[in-house]
Amino acid sequence: MLEDEDTVYWTISEDMLKYAKSLEDKLQMNRTKESKVDTLTGILGELVFADFWYGDWKRENSYDEFVSNFGKPDFEGRFEVKSSCHKFDWKLNLLIRQDYNEKRIPPFYVQILFDTDTKEINTKTGVIIVGYTYGEKAHNGELKEMAGITSFKAYHTPFEELNPIYELKEILKDES
């Protein structure tokens, strides 16, 4: 079971935020948006992951790379970053939309949470890299509606069932 000490806390730099906002209107997904910050949350989640994983938030995050990754796992063809904007709670879930599930199964999902209850993201917003799970496992999670959203269903993997992100770095370090 994942615990507080297994999560990683990160920050958003002014440059990251400015860059993400510059892409926000250009990278709209053709799907149901449930929040005004969905696109910004997704872009920033990928920047945070790149900053954590590679030490460079710009790596694999040019406009062209974002566009070429639509419909594919985000990094190296094996990491899919799932980002959400909520006040942190262990009762939250890594969510995979049913329609997404039917198109592809990446090897790994990584959950990033923008820890706020205001639905606004700025450089003071807490960022938590909650953990990761294997793609197959996430795609076998419980299928149900998302907290009152009836336009689609999603597979749910509780945060507490995720694995510590540092374990993934350890598992994959020999592949580099």
- Mean pLDDT, rounded, for 50-67: 86
- Structural domain including 171 reads 4-175
- Give pLDDT, residue 61: 81
- Domains held by the chain: number: 1
User: Taking 80 as the threshold, does the pLDDT of residue 55 lie above it?
Assistant: yes
User: Taking 80 as the threshold, does the pLDDT of residue 170 lie above it?
Assistant: yes
* Per-residue pLDDT reduced to its tens digit, 145-161: 776 666 678 899 999 99
Q: Are 128 and 115 in contact (CB under 8 A)?
A: yes
- Mean pLDDT, rounded, for 53-60: 91
